[in-house]
């Protein structure tokens, strides 16, 4: 299990190439990548703030829960902070399991919990100023299915 919280970009190909590499007990690997989206064409950048210390602990706890609930051989979460531009990668999750059902479900679980239980806050910066992104009720509701 790995957690990385960083300002720097990550290379998806490199990460997936080394994730769970060399294992013979993994038959399924799932990954998700979050990307900065610009719905209106006005977004200059997305500023991501986090709580150093708690962020790593909270993500580690979410990973630890995932490992107890599904048959996972490994999982990886990378989440960036700082100023990101539209099209930039924000974060990624990868899971490795003997079978795909566990890998898919655990990846979705990790994503749902990262959305509302990892201490990140997003601010959208446009020519008109900066607005904090409000948490969505459906993100909180998404936790109920787990």
Partner 1 sequence: MIDILYFAWVRERIGIPKEKLDTQAATVADLVEELKAREPRYEAAFGDVSALRVALDQELANFDAPLAGVREVAFFPPMTGG
**Which residues form the interface with partner 1 (CB under 8 A)?**
34, 49, 51, 53-54, 57-58, 79, 90-91, 111, 114-123, 132-135, 139-140
Pick the closer one to partner 1 by CB: 4 or 122. Answer: 122
- Residue 115, token pair as written in the block: 């959305």
Q: Can you tell me the distance from the alpha carbon of 122 to that of 131, in angstroms, rounded to the nearest whole number?
A: 9
Nearest C-alpha neighbor of 104 from the set 27, 52, 17, 43: 27
- Closest separation in Å from C-beta 41 to partner 1: 21
Pick the closer one to partner 1 by CB: 77 or 96. Answer: 77
- Closest separation in Å from C-beta 33 to partner 1: 11
Pick the closer one to partner 1 by CB: 74 or 112. Answer: 112
**Could you tell me the end-to-end alpha-carbon distance of the chain, in angstroms, rounded to an integer?**
20
Q: Can you tell me the distance from the alpha carbon of 107 to that of 137, in angstroms, rounded to the nearest whole number?
A: 21
């Amino acid at each position: 299990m790995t957690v990385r919280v960083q300002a720097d970009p990550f290379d998806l190909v490199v990460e997936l190439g080394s994730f769970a590499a060399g294992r013979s007990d993994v038959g399924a690997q799932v990954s998700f990548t979050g990307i900065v989206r610009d719905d209106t064409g006005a977004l200059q950048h997305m500023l991501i703030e986090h709580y150093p210390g708690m962020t790593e602990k909270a993500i580690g706890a979410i990973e630890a829960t995932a490992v107890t609930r599904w048959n996972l051989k490994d999982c990886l979460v990378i989440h960036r902070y700082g100023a990101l531009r539209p099209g930039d990668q924000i974060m990624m999750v990868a899971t490795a399991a003997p079978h795909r059902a566990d890998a898919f479900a655990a990846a979705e679980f990790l994503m749902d919990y990262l959305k509302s239980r990892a201490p990140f806050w997003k601010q959208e910066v446009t020519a008109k100023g900066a607005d904090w992104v409000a948490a969505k009720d459906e993100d909180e509701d998404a936790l109920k299915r787990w």
